[in-house]
Copies of this chain bind each other. A is one copy, B any other.
Amino acid sequence: MMPIQDALEALNGKWKLLIISSISLGNNRFKEIERSIPKISSKVLAKELKDLENNKLIKRTISDYSSVLTEYTLQPHAETLKDVLIALRDWGKLHRKAIIDK
């Protein structure tokens, strides 16, 4: 039971897994991520990115003096989350069939 609780705590909120998924799909810039996730605001995105960075799930790299080229990449530790994402995505499809569509 406890490991699940640990995981849920690190991934709390409705955004973190989506952000990780987005980055893993090749969106590495702030605006790219923002555009890839419908309805997220820049404020929330900034905050979630910090959380993820603190939890060592992503890495922030500033490769430009003017900070216009900040990039976010997954840490190895987040790579292992892909199994979760896959399972979640598979279930999401089933769920949509079962509930949302009729």
C-alpha spacing A83/B17, complex, angstroms: 16
Contact assessment for A6 and B77 in the assembled complex, using a CB-CB cutoff below 8 Å: no
User: From residue A9, how far is it (CB to closest CB) to chain B in Å?
Assistant: 7
Chain A interface residue bracket vs B = 35 or more
C-alpha spacing A80/B4, complex, angstroms: 17
Q: Given A55-B99, A77-B98, A99-B55, A18–B4 Cβ distance below 8 Å?
A: yes
A87 within 8 A of B: yes
Contact assessment for B22 and A17 in the assembled complex, using a CB-CB cutoff below 8 Å: no
User: From residue A2, how far is it (CB to closest CB) to chain B in Å?
Assistant: 8
Chain A residues packing against B (C-beta within 8 Å): 1-10, 12, 14, 17-18, 21-22, 25, 36-37, 55-56, 77, 80-81, 83-96, 98-100
